[in-house]
Structures are given as structure tokens and as C-alpha cells.
Chains A and B, each alone.
Chain A
């Protein structure tokens, strides 16, 4: 169960990181779409393995607990601004 949640959280984190990278880097609409979609399959296993190399559990929990809401806000803010413009 713990492993399942870890993988699920890592998936969410990698999705948000790939979207944030695509949105905040200077790409046009089509390239942003490709960047967001294509970086997920690389980032997900990479971040998961990286998380396994962190020794302290509290560091991992903090990364998920702060990383996911912060990235969600960043992505939401940029997308809502772009959509309303």
C-alpha cells in the first residue's frame, strides 16, 4: 500500500513537473504540448528512482507535501492567465 501511494505521488509530481517545465520555458503552443507529453515517461522513473536514493523519510514526505501543491498552483496560475488572456 505504501509503495502504491509512493508511486502514485511520484506520478503526480512528474506530471506537474513536466507541465511546469513546458509552460514556463519559452515554447510555442505546439512545442509546449510535445514537451509536456514527452517528458513524462522519462521523468516518472527518474524521479521515482531519485526518491529511493533519499535516505531520510521526512525529506521524501516534505518533497511530496510541498512539491505537489506548489507545482499545482504554479501550473494553474499560468494556465488560467493564458486562458483568460
Chain B
């Protein structure tokens, strides 16, 4: 590659990184709890206060009681039971705000604090808690920026055979950062491409729909959506008798059983309960296929099959779309893929920070005065602090206010306030990060201890407890590790190579 093109790519790689790195690091760190959303929700659920239901056959009686207490007539809501033998969660939606309910041991429907808190953790990664669709667009644009950074990085580093295992830890800081950036970039390349592409597509979905509708449905977006997902029911505002949702769930189960032999219901969505045009959509995961859940829709008044979404025999485009979710969320191989995604997201954040440190090093900027170091430290510690504060509040609510109703906005406010406080303190006074780090470590230690003292532990909640304790240990040791590292001699040294020529580490790092 000619020097002029190399320089142009290098400049654009630096500029794009400079603009997007802090937000991309935030995106990576917010992905960590989002990957284990279901487990965190389960960990937070005090099982002794909730009636467990194992089969969808019992959903009729449960829904009848929910309707009596919450007046569900004419509303849109979801019923979910993601893990066998776990209780159902009822998600109601109003003005794009979701509220989760569960039934306690006395038969009362109460706010499901843990589900709502876990949803906020996932939503931060989805839109940074900014109003939709702008939050989603920002996340989508960050995905595009990351994909561009990946393509430029691939073109810039052509000596990948030599660099793939080269990690010169005992030379200089600059050389170590450079090697780390290249090694992580190379080994995690497929993960970077999948995650950034799927993230960009999911984030910019509503904008991409315009292009999609233009190319096939004369620009009519509603027609494009209806062609795949079926028509949205128009409510008649008249009351009718409903078919049994349990029986329809059984029909859906039989439908996929006949076609593919095995399936698991993941979600029941009801539009306009008790309305004459009410509709039920039942989503089912088909094991063995790396695709989104299939779904069938029935009329709740006649029980007639209205629409079927089956991704398996679909064409190239349909399968491509159905792959996005599993590839982005890493749910296709259970805990193995989830842990792989966890580690990869963490390493991706390390790679981005190493790239920016390289840029600062090249410009000989003081780390303590650098805006990047301040904002990046503030963002990272802010996310860690906000996440554990949210879980701490939800744990206390489960203990002392288990029957009280809390809006999901309470959790968003808790998250935003703790993030902003930590961020501003770090930006105003960088040295305070040592104290904040220890405070975070203490919070990650205290929350599982409170949980273990008051609630039962089972296998899955034990894994979450241990993860929190590991995070606590990391934050306790991080200040001393970084202090030791920065105090070591990191001068740029000149070392003769195999041919006896001397090249400085700064030159080698480029």
C-alpha cells in the first residue's frame, strides 16, 4: 500500500476513533450486564414470595386473576416465562413504558422490581436511556463507526502473520499498547464485525425500513411490516368472549411440533384483551436453528389462525434478518456463547482504550490532563456504579417494599443519577477515581451479601453472586495495579534488532 493511502487511512482511523471511542467503550460496558439480563432478573427475584408455575396450561386462571386486579381489557401486554418452572411475568405497555407484574404467594399482582430493574440495564445498552428513536439511532451510528474502524484496521495492519501473537510486554508502554491493540483486533475480528454490523442494523432499523419499503412496497412502510409480521388488529371497542389462551398456546405448540418436532414457547403477546378484534401472537423457539423465534397469531374470538411467521424455509433475506438477533445477543449456545460474548465485549473495550492511549502517547499528552482519560474513566466507573446502585435499590425494594408498585422510571432515574454523579466527580477531579473504585468494590460486595443473607441460593443465582464478588475483587485491586504499572519505568528504549540495527520502540509501534 502506498504511503499516502496508509497515512490517509491512519488519520481517518484515528479521527473516527477519537470521536466515537468513549461512547463505544460505554456501549461495550453496558453490554456486560445486558448479556445476563435473564440471570440477573432471576437472581433478584425472591422466589419464596412468588407462586411458581411450570406449564402454560395454567395461564387462563392466572390471566383471569390478573385481569380482575389490573383491568387488562383493551390493553396490549406480554406474558413471559423464559425459564422452566419460573413464574410468569406480565408486561403491560402504555406510551412505550413497560411495567412488569408477578403474582405473589397471596395471589396479589405486584410490581416485579427485579424484571423492571434488569430491563433498565438492557435498555441502557439499547438506547443509553435517551428518548426513542434518537437513542437507537445514536447506538446504530456507533455500530457503523465501529465497522468502519474495523475495515480500516484490517487494511492498515497487513503484517498480521507476524503480529498475531506478538506481545512485547517488557519493552515500553507504547509498544505494549500497540501490540495489544493489534493482537486483540486480529483475534476478535469476527466478533467485531458481527456485533458492530448487527448493532448498527438493529439500531437504525426504523431508518432502514424506509429504504426497504421503497425497494419493494412503493414506500409504504406499514405494508412492508404487515407482509412479514401480519396486520396489527384494529380494536372494535366492543366486548366479546375470549378463547382460552392456554388452548391456543397448546395449538401453537402442536403446530410447530408437527412441523419441526420440538419447540419452546418464549412469549405470548395479547392485543386488545376482551375486544371483538383481539389477537394473540405466540412466539416459539425451534431448537437447532440459529434464527429468531417463529410465531403464530390467532384470533382470540374465533381461535382462527391469522398469520404464521416461519423463518426456517424463508429466502436469503428473511434468514439474514432472522440471524441478527441471535448473532447480536449471543444466545445461540447458552452460557458458553454468553460468556464468550462477555469476555469479548470486555476485551473490545480494552482494545479501544489501548488505541486511544496510543494516540495520546504519540501526541505526548499528559494522561492526567487528557479529556479522553477523564471522560473514559468517568464513563467506565459511572456505568459500574450505576449498575450496582440499580441492583442494590431493587434488592432493598424486594426486602422492604415487595408489595409496592414502582414505575420503571424510578429505576431509570436511579441509574441516570448515579452515573452522572460518578461521571462528573471523575471529570472534575480525576484523582477521586481511587476512592470511587473502592466504593464500587464495596457495593459489589455488599449487594450479594445482603441477597445471600435474606434470600435462598440456587445454582443460577450462585453464579451471579460469584460474578459480583469477582467484580468486587477487580475493583479492589485495580487502583494498586494501575499505580504499580504507571510507576514502572516506561521510557522509550532503543533496542538493536536481529541485524544489529537500532530502532526505537516508538518507531516499531507504528
- A contact residues vs B (CB 8 Å cutoff): 15, 18-19, 22-23, 27-38, 40-42, 44-46, 48-49, 52-53, 55, 75, 79, 83
Q: Which residues of B have CB within 8 Å of A49?
A: 9, 148, 151-152, 155
- Is B147's CB under 8 angstroms from A41's CB? yes
CA distance A48 to B149 in the complex (A): 11
Given contacts A40-B211, A52-B12, contact A31 B5 (CB under 8 A): no
Q: Which residues of B have CB within 8 Å of A42?
A: 147, 197
Pair count A-B, CB < 8 A: 105
- Is B320's CB under 8 angstroms from A38's CB? yes
Nearest to A37 among chain B residues (CB) is B212
- Is B315's CB under 8 angstroms from A45's CB? no
- Is A22's CB under 8 angstroms from B215's CB? yes
Q: How far is the CB of B373 from chain A (nearest CB, A)?
A: 26
B contact residues, total (Cβ < 8 Å)? 40
Contact partner of B318 (CB less than 8 A), chosen from A30, A46, A48, A53, is A30
Q: Which residues of B have CB within 8 Å of A35?
A: 215, 316-317, 320
- Is A19's CB under 8 angstroms from B215's CB? yes
Does B144 interact with chain A (Cβ within 8 Å)?
yes
CA distance A79 to B218 in the complex (A): 8
Main secondary structure, interface of A, reads helix
Q: Which residues of A have CB within 8 Å of B200?
A: 41
Binds A, one of B122-130, B201-209, B393-401: B201-209
- Is B316's CB under 8 angstroms from A18's CB? no
Nearest to A30 among chain B residues (CB) is B227
Given contacts A33-B227, A33-B317, contact A55 B2 (CB under 8 A): yes
Interface string of B301-334 (1 = CB under 8 A from A): 0000000000000111110110010000000000
Given contacts A31-B315, A41-B201, contact A36 B9 (CB under 8 A): no
Q: How far is the CB of B325 from chain A (nearest CB, A)?
A: 13
Q: Which residues of B have CB within 8 Å of A29?
A: 216-217, 227
Q: Which residues of B have CB within 8 Å of A19?
A: 211, 214-215
- Is A32's CB under 8 angstroms from B215's CB? yes
CA distance A53 to B155 in the complex (A): 9
- Is B9's CB under 8 angstroms from A53's CB? yes
Most buried by A among B2, B155, B215: B215
Given contacts A27-B315, A32-B317, contact A41 B211 (CB under 8 A): no
- Interface CB pairs A-B, < 8 A, 19: A22-B216, A27-B315, A30-B317, A31-B314, A33-B213, A33-B215, A37-B208, A37-B211, A40-B208, A41-B143, A41-B147, A42-B147, A42-B197, A44-B144, A45-B147, A49-B148, A53-B5, A79-B215, A83-B218
CA distance A74 to B284 in the complex (A): 41
Q: How far is the CB of B27 from chain A (nearest CB, A)?
A: 15
Q: How far is the CB of A85 from chain B (nearest CB, A)?
A: 12
Does B466 interact with chain A (Cβ within 8 Å)?
no
Q: Which residues of A have CB within 8 Å of B9?
A: 49, 52-53
